Structure formats: C-alpha cells, structure tokens
C-alpha cells in the first residue's frame, strides 16, 4: 500500500510572491546584458571599432 498524502513539513505554502528560481535567473540576465552594453561603450570610446 502506498500513501498519497504529503507530509506537512514538505509542502510549502505559496504566498503569491516571485518564484524562488526566477530571481537569480533574472538578475543574471540583467547583469549579463549590462556587462555587454558596458563593454560595447568602452570599445567604442577607445576607438577600437
């Protein structure tokens, strides 16, 4: 016999906030694009392109 009930300690209540896995991924995306733009500005200002 298998039980289909979940332990209350394993089930987390959702509060309507952002998902745990979305935050770092979004931050990583924003920081990556910021670095790309900064590098493009520096290359352009230095006259390398």
**Does pLDDT of 36 surpass 80?**
yes
Q: Percentage of residues in the chain with pLDDT exceeding 90?
A: 39
- State residue 9's pLDDT score: 58
Name the helix (H) or strand (E) containing 30.
Answer: helix 22-46
Q: Percentage of residues in the chain with pLDDT exceeding 70?
A: 55
Residues near 22 by beta carbon (within 8 Å), at least 6 away in sequence:
none
Q: In the predicted model, what is the mean pLDDT of residues 25-47?
A: 94
- State residue 29's pLDDT score: 93
């Amino acid at each position: 016999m298998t039980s289909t009930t979940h332990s209350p300690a394993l089930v987390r209540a959702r509060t309507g906030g952002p998902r745990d896995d979305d935050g770092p991924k979004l931050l990583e995306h924003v920081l990556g694009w910021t670095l790309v733009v900064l590098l493009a500005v520096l290359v352009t200002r230095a006259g390398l392109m």
